[in-house]
Structure 1
């Protein structure tokens, strides 16, 4: 295949911001993207990730900041002249055009010579493995096939940057897994630079070189999948990266990074992330897979134990997902290698290194939204 991405050294977002009617949707986004990187913008609905992508694409003008490619501003350049490819959430295919003609549309608008156009369209169709469907209309294709057409239409332009706005959200679970692998393969084989928007942390972790976690229009953390998975900067990031157990406790003692916290009928040894002092309120974050039911094959870890009552048990193949309630009424999500009886009392344990303790005063907990307070109330 001879389709290749246009090259640049770096893409810089400097203090990029966007407001709507005086309300900030995106604030002070600073990010440098290297050629060939796969960057995922990650966060809940309304966090500003799609706004950031639309600002990059030129579909929204900036309220603040600059976007530069190799030191040259592009935020003042019209969208069609930025040489960026876009893959939309709803595919945005022309229903009356065949697969071939959908993919060829952008090349025709650029008046690419017919022979070259034909060659590039054929290569793009082969890349996404749709040779048998080239003459079909979008309505005759599955969702996954339509998504492949949308991707082919973007890469056939040989863009220097590909922007993807939640491209897999309309697909079923099996197709999402397949398309993840396909998008990553195309990214690597074509030498693309990709910025990908998603609200699915598993999707982002599996595909991206670096993740940018956003909340209420502001960057919470930028790092590799491993960094964000293992070392969330604050409890907002931890919550979004799968630490489903968020427990409000008080600090009992501190010994360097080692901290003991208690409350709601639970006492835990954990690892402080940020400055905490005895007597202060904190929020402990624990992944379900790190909080397990004690058994002969899963003994007590680091002296951490807590009693809880089993309320629900779900079979997940190699393990069981168990919902438990502590004596203080705290709902927790845990894992077990066996199926404990509903209503029985079990002993829980967790490695103190995997119990992350965050100071509430540094995470804006006093100003939680109604939605967050509701969420935390459910967790309690």
Structure 2
């Protein structure tokens, strides 16, 4: 497939039995970008990927590759590589032959097919399994075959639907790095579906967060990590503490909120007025165990290496999640401070 400049997704929608699984998705993807579609199960991210691949017809909208319309073409004429959640390997072909299949269909010279296939096998660390059939492999090994088969043909666009979902934690981290290296080395354009925000942040140039089929925010990892557009995005991006409060004093974008008699100050990401119902979002690592602050009692402590994940409850029954290096145990009284709160209007929350 020839190189392209921009892949344009214009108002793409897909409905099932009158229900919109994907609604009005518009996105320009530049050649060489790594785009992650991110969101919880049922948000429409896999539907979007399948529409792009041609596996689902559109209910509305268009897809363009520069000035060439794609949504009217069948999947095999779009020239995309795809890695499915369920592997979709040929059960009667060995690992080596599965990976080589796409190259053979392109009628490349036998020596080139052999060399590129062996390179791909080494990339996903399956040298010892190259002669085996898919049924003789673990789920993680099958997934690595699927990744190798998709990228060995060096397509201009690679579509990946949660390709690391069946790998153990160590291999997942290793393969995450390999996918990014491969993307950069081959100059690929990648659209990657995941529900794992850490995975998306580490891999993508831009993230598209979906909820109930609709785009909530499009931005760089830093933008989504530091300034989520709404409380739903904040919740999904790791702001585990979403506190329903009332706005106090407002000075510009600085808002004071009262938590059981203790004042905290945060940044409003949308206009709020004193007295408005708001949601205050704060990450566990942004809550601190301080000499003064909100009185709490520790309920649960989880050891996580260099720090502890702690659940603590206020006198009024509010549950807080924090991370700390302080040595704590269930039943300990603590005072909790906070920094970098984000304030959202309650009617625009999750």
Confirm whether residue 160 of structure 1 aligns to residue 156 of structure 2: yes
In structure 1, the residue matched to 2:338 is 350
Task: Give yes or no for the alignment of 1:314 onto 2:302.
Answer: yes
Q: Point out the more displaced range, 198-207 or 317-326.
A: 317-326
Are residues 51 and 121 of structure 1, via their aligned partners in 2, closer, same or farther at CA, if it must alter by over 3 Å? same
2:123, 2:329 → 1: CA distance? Answer: 51
**Is 1:324 aligned to residue 320 of structure 2?**
no
Instruction: Please point out which of 183, 195, 200 is paired with 2:196.
Output: 200
After TM superposition, the structure 1 = structure 2 runs for residues 289-304 of structure 1, keeping only pairs within 5 Å, are 289-294=285-290
Secondary structure of 1:118 counterpart? helix
- What is the alpha-carbon root mean square deviation over aligned residues? 1.8
* Structure 2: 5+ residue stretches without partners: none
Q: Which residue of 1 aligns with 2:90?
A: 94
In structure 2, the partner of 1:336 is 324
CA distance, structure 2, for counterparts of residue 267 and residue 310 of structure 1: 21
Number of equivalenced pairs: 350
- 1:362 partnered with 2:345: no
Partner Cα distance (2:330, 2:129) in 1: 52
Structure 2 CA distance for aligned equivalents of residues 78 and 266 of structure 1: 60
Task: State whether residues 158 and 188 of structure 2, in contact with CA within 8 Å, keep that contact through their aligned partners in structure 1.
Answer: yes
Aligned partner of residue 299 in structure 2, secondary structure: strand
Aligned mates of 2:337, 2:57 — CA distance in 1? 51
Partners of 2:193 and 2:150 in 1: CA distance: 16
Give TM-score, length-normalised by structure 2.
Answer: 0.95
Deviation at 1:125, TM superposition (A): 2.4
Alignment check: 8 A CA contact 1:293 1:348 kept = yes
Q: What are the Cα deviations for residues 317-374 of structure 1, in whole angstroms up to 9, with x where unaligned?
A: 21121111112111110122222232232111112xx1001001234x6xxxxxxxxx
Describe the SS at the equivalent of 1:120: helix
TM-score using structure 1 length: 0.88
Alpha-carbon separation, structure 1, partners of 2:67 and 2:296:
57
Unaligned stretches of 5+ residues in structure 1: 366-380
Shift of 1:135: 1.2
Higher strand proportion: 2
1:249–1:264 contact (8 Å) kept in structure 2:
no
